[in-house]
C-alpha cells in the first residue's frame, strides 16, 4: 500500500492486508541500500496471522518517493510520522543494521510509538570503512561487492539458502544494485555519523530483543553487547545464531521468524 509522509509517497508492504488500527502491529525497517523485500517471510507470516505487518521502504528506497534521509534521527522521525499517517498507535519495531539504529532512536525519542524493539545486525558504534564509503560515494560497483563479501557468512557464500532455488549472494547483489544513485552513500554516511547510540540506549524503556549472527563481520556480537549493556532501563533478551553473518533476516529467515513468534503475545 501507499501512504503520504511529509508530502511524499511512502510504500509499505502489508502482505496485501489492510491496516487495522485495532490490531497489534509489527514495523519492519530495512538496512542500507535495501528495501521491504528483505522481510518477505516475516511480514507475510504476521499479516496472515491476524496482525498488522508494515515492511517499509524508507524515503528514496524501493517504491517510496523523496530523497534518502541523511541522518538516523531523521529516519526515526519519518517512521514516527509514518505510524501517525496510518493511524497506528504503537508497534513492535524490527530493525536490521541501519534500520536497527533508526528503530533505537525511534524508541528513545518517540516512546509512545513503541511496544518493543527487535534489533538485528546491530551494534554501536556502526563505523563504515573508508574504502566502502568512497566506493559508495562514486556509485562504484565495488561497494556492492564489499557489502556482500563482508555481510554473508562463509557458509552463505557457498549456498544453503533456506528459500529453495535462490542464491543469497546474487539476491543481495541485485537488491543493492537497484538502489538509486547516491542512496547507498547517504545511508552508509548516516550510520557512520550517528553518535547518539549509547545515550539513546540508556533512554529505552520497552523490552528489547537482539537476534545476532555469530559470524557477523559488519556488526560483531561484541558491538551489540556494548549496546545492550547500556540499556539499563529496559528488559533485554537475545539469541545468537551460530555461523550466521550480518544479513540475518535473509540468511536465517526461519530461525528469525521463530524468534519473533516467540515474542508475540497475540
Question: How many residues appear in the chain?
Answer: 266
**β 52-56/8-13 pair status:** antiparallel
Q: Give burial (CB, 10 Å; 0-12/13-18/19+) of 264.
A: middle
H/E run at residue 61: none
pLDDT tens-digit series, residues 129-140: 999 999 999 999
**Residue 266 predicted with pLDDT over 60:** no
In the DSSP assignment, the letter for residue 19 is P
pLDDT tens-digit series, residues 185-243: 999 999 999 999 999 999 999 999 999 999 999 999 999 999 999 999 999 999 999 99
Average pLDDT over residues 25-49: 96
C-alpha cell at 113: 510509538
- For 165-168, the CB contacts below 8 A with 24+ separation are 168/247, 168/250, 168/251
Average pLDDT over residues 140-149: 95
- In this prediction, what percent of the chain has a pLDDT beyond 70? 99
Residues 6+ apart with CB under 8 A from 124: 101, 194, 197, 198, 201, 223, 226, 227
- In a 13 Å sphere around the CA of 180, the CA atoms on its Cβ side amount to 14
In whole angstroms, give the CA distance from residue 54 to residue 167: 25
- Residue in 240, 30, 87 with CA at minimum distance from that of residue 40: 30
Q: What is the CA radius of gyration of the chain?
A: 17
pLDDT tens-digit series, residues 72-82: 999 999 999 99
Contact yes or no for 69/30 (Cβ under 8 A)? no
**C-alpha dihedral, 82 to 260 to 102 to 187, nearest 10°:** -100
**Residue 27 predicted with pLDDT over 60:** yes
What pLDDT is stored for residue 146 in this prediction? Answer: 96
**Residue 106 predicted with pLDDT over 60:** yes
Angle between helices 142-151 and 130-137 (to 10 degrees): 140
- Of 114-128, 209-223, 251-265, the least confident: 251-265
Contact yes or no for 169/177 (Cβ under 8 A)? no
Burial letters 212-228, b for 16+ CB under 10 A, else e: bbebbebbebebbeebb
Average pLDDT over residues 63-86: 97
The whole-chain average pLDDT of the chain stands at 94
**Residue 162 predicted with pLDDT over 80:** no
Q: Residue 174 forms beta bridges with which residues? A: none
What is the SS3 assignment for 26? strand
What pLDDT is stored for residue 46 in this prediction? Answer: 97
What pLDDT is stored for residue 265 in this prediction? Answer: 54
In whole angstroms, give the CA distance from residue 41 to residue 136: 29
Amino acid at each position: 500500500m501507499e501512504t503520504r509522509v511529509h508530502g511524499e509517497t511512502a510504500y509499505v508492504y502489508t502482505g496485501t492486508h489492510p491496516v487495522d488500527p485495532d490490531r497489534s502491529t509489527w514495523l519492519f525497517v530495512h538496512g542500507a541500500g535495501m528495501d521491504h523485500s528483505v522481510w518477505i517471510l516475516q511480514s507475510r507470516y504476521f499479516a496472515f496471522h491476524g496482525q498488522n505487518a508494515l515492511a517499509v521502504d524508507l524515503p528514496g528506497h524501493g517504491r517510496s518517493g523523496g530523497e534518502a534521509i541523511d541522518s538516523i534521527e531523521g529516519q526515526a522521525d519519518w517512521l514516527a510520522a509514518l505510524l501517525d499517517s496510518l493511524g497506528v498507535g504503537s508497534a513492535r519495531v524490527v530493525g536490521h543494521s541501519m534500520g536497527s539504529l533508526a528503530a533505537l532512536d525511534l524508541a528513545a525519542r518517540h516512546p509512545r510509538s513503541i511496544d518493543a524493539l527487535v534489533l538485528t545486525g546491530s551494534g554501536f558504534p556502526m563505523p563504515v570503512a573508508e574504502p566502502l564509503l568512497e566506493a559508495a560515494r562514486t556509485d562504484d560497483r565495488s561497494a556492492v561487492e564489499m557489502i556482500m563479501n563482508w555481510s554473508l557468512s562463509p557458509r552463505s557464500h557457498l549456498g544453503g539458502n533456506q528459500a529453495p532455488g535462490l542464491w543469497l549472494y546474487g539476491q543481495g547483489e541485485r537488491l543493492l544494485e537497484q538502489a538509486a544513485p547516491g542512496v547507498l552513500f547517504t545511508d552508509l554516511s548516516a550510520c557512520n555519523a550517528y553518535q547518539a547510540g549509547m545515550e539513546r540506549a540508556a533512554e529505552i524503556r520497552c523490552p528489547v530483543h537482539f537476534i545476532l549472527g555469530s559470524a557477523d563481520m559488519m556488526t560483531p556480537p561484541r558491538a551489540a553487547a556494548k549496546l545492550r549493556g547500556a540499556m539499563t532501563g529496559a528488559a533485554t533478551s537475545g539469541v545468537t545464531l551460530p555461523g550466521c553473518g550480518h544479513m540475518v533476516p535473509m540468511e536465517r529467515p526461519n530461525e528469525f521468524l521463530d524468534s519473533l513468534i516467540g515474542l508475540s503475545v497475540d
